[in-house]
Structure 1
């Protein structure tokens, strides 16, 4: 089962055609054919000709001009180079029936959708960095400068306000049904800190998820990076340590949720989601030197739409390395080629690093 998106993927893609106006009067019908191309095409800079080759035996100047899309490409690129501008990417191919050109156009449209959302995103930032995790500190101003996204400073009390209200039985039961529809709840295996999901943990996870969605709507957020511990035995501790289930549902629906106050990874998750390739928080774990592999994953929220099977929900007696207890999410991603994306800081400047690897068992 796939989690539907909270918002549709959208972009504003500008398109204009270029031609030599003298030709229109010289060759009747040529302008109409050029307009037909614009009705079909949506790309960055494309030279897509209607024919796979000229009909050399019957070729005319009109036919040549209709298929002369490549002619002006060196001119555009030369002007860009001479003016010190970035030389644009070019898509060469046929107007119709060209799978390779269609794939390139689709790729540029995905980039446009990603930039559309990234530059307008409101990313919530709540809590604090874990003590001594110096790699997690991120300057919100640098984020806006690099990506355009606005970082919204939030307080955990804003979620607690919704969590502390009297339960809405209908909303709570609906959220429990949603959770159980997406997760299996099997018996534990070898790890002694896990048990079968308890009714209590399901109730808390559902209640937190309902409060979280109310908070997101109230603050008009597009993502959230957070970490908060609170005092032991308080409602705040119960709430902030049970965000994982609601986080996973939200992440799968296109709303990236990132623990450990990791704003950079939240942005990376947003980018990958808008490219429609998932985006799940992960880190490196033990290496298998015999097989030449490394375990990659995390015990926090995941992008459920890239799972290879129904994810698992179990109760955890403790969260390793962090306070609290409650429901924990387990899942494995689909096998095959995957992309790993990281946003890092070098000399105060944010940058993107990618790696292409293969997921297997």
Structure 2
């Protein structure tokens, strides 16, 4: 439901691309080279939807393989797609990936579902035998210690080349659509990697005391993702808070009205009440300061938590959740309790265009054969069914202070959960699960969203 413009767009992937063939063929079979270059240009155009493409062209000798490797290094590519245009010797392309260390995806994309058997000669057959080199290059890459993946399917052409004997219009074939969906996902993954390398993650305040699973080594985070961690103090935010004007407060109040439903008192929880106008005004003022800080410090994410003793900064924190929810909708991943690894998972989901929001296991609903996943802190509008609800909280459970919190329902449908954790040996690890969100009752306690997952 969010139509707020992102504060910082994700970085487009820098995509390396080449086609592989064998130079001996070009003089033997007139028209073959131009046909394969046509395929090359078609793939380049498709890839350009998802990144900046650096197309070396045809690699058909060992010398060109070395030149391609240097070309991709100079272009600082995030990923390289290797198109098996016809048969080629593995010696042609191995130097590319010995010189350039970007992740490698081999495109085994056949131009037509079946050859025109009665009219196809060796020349046309060579444009069809795209899978011939895949076992050979797989062997060479494995023995050279070069990791790779293969995408298999149809090329997905919109028209048949004049060189062809068979019908090569395959754009609507499921084998083509599946292959290109997989290629798109690789490009998005490369965009995630590039975006994180240029990201600044703010940690405002500190961690919630005792939540050991959240604690992270910032050097490890930067070493394995490239992201920078910016340590922020509550006085940094207060600097921006003091600069907020009444006009900015009114503008932010209008955003709050546009994107949230203002609740009445909860029928079930006495600490969840209708937010007072003073609470909404304060949340709007703090939200304006939060956006100023994000823009001025060039942040891509904020993890936060503050524990005080009835002091001013505790009052500031009471207005955090609304503003950080608005920032989530604008591509700035915000997570409470200082949980920077969850903010990282949220940022990855947002770069992928799905909208990442913190969630945690609450309980099981045995009657519905589901698990209930709840939420505490900023929410992401992109996954909400209808407007999220704002409730005034007399107590932030487990924490000091009070304020305005978000209650929401997740859209029914397929759901992927992504968690980032740290292993015993100091590596980051994804925890991923898949399920289905169902439309079921939620708790009316103003303290999060209920996601029923099968």
TM-score of Structure 1 vs Structure 2, range by shorter chain: over 0.9
**What is the CA-CA distance between 1:180 and the residue it aligns to?**
0.9
User: Map of 1:283-302 to 2, 5 A cutoff?
Assistant: 283-302=360-379
Q: After superposing the two structures, state which structure 1 stretch, 126-135 or 216-225, moved more.
A: 126-135
User: Map of 1:66-81 to 2, 5 A cutoff?
Assistant: 66-81=127-142
**Residue 130 of structure 1 pairs with residue 208 of structure 2:** yes
**What are the ranges of 5 or more consecutive residues in structure 1 without an aligned counterpart?**
none
Runs of 4 or more consecutive aligned structure 1 residues displaced over 6 Å after TM superposition: none
**What is the CA-CA distance between 1:38 and the residue it aligns to?**
2.3
**Residue 153 of structure 1 pairs with residue 231 of structure 2:** yes
CA 1:233–1:84 in structure 2 vs 1: closer, same or farther (change >3 Å)? closer
**C-alpha contact (below 8 Å) 1:241/1:323 kept by paired residues:** no
Higher relative contact order (CA 8 A, sep 6+): 1
SS at match of 1:45: strand
Quote the RMSD (CA, aligned, Å): 1.7
**What is the CA-CA distance between 1:303 and the residue it aligns to?**
1.4
SS at match of 2:262: coil
The structure where strand makes up a greater share of residues is 2
**C-alpha contact (below 8 Å) 1:268/1:343 kept by paired residues:** yes
Corresponding residue for residue 396 of structure 2: 319
Corresponding residue for residue 386 of structure 2: 309
Aligned length: 358
**What is the CA-CA distance between 1:233 and the residue it aligns to?**
4.5
1:13 maps to which of 2, 15, 19:
15
User: Map of 1:46-61 to 2, 5 A cutoff?
Assistant: 46-61=107-122
**C-alpha contact (below 8 Å) 2:9/2:331 kept by paired residues:** no
**Residue 37 of structure 1 pairs with residue 115 of structure 2:** no
User: Map of 1:1-361 to 2, 5 A cutoff?
Assistant: 1-3=1-3, 4-9=5-10, 10-41=12-43, 42=47, 43=81, 44-86=105-147, 88-96=148-156, 97=171, 98-165=176-243, 167-190=244-267, 191-234=269-312, 236-347=313-424, 348-360=426-438, 361=440
Instruction: Give, in whole Å, the separation in 2 of the partners of 1:36 and 1:239.
Output: 60
**C-alpha contact (below 8 Å) 1:300/1:328 kept by paired residues:** yes
Instruction: Give, in whole Å, the separation in 2 of the partners of 1:186 and 1:260.
Output: 25
**What is the CA-CA distance between 1:197 and the residue it aligns to?**
2.7
TM-score (norm 1): 0.94
**What is the CA-CA distance between 1:222 and the residue it aligns to?**
1.0
**What are the ranges of 5 or more consecutive residues in structure 2 without an aligned counterpart?**
48-80, 82-104, 157-170, 441-454
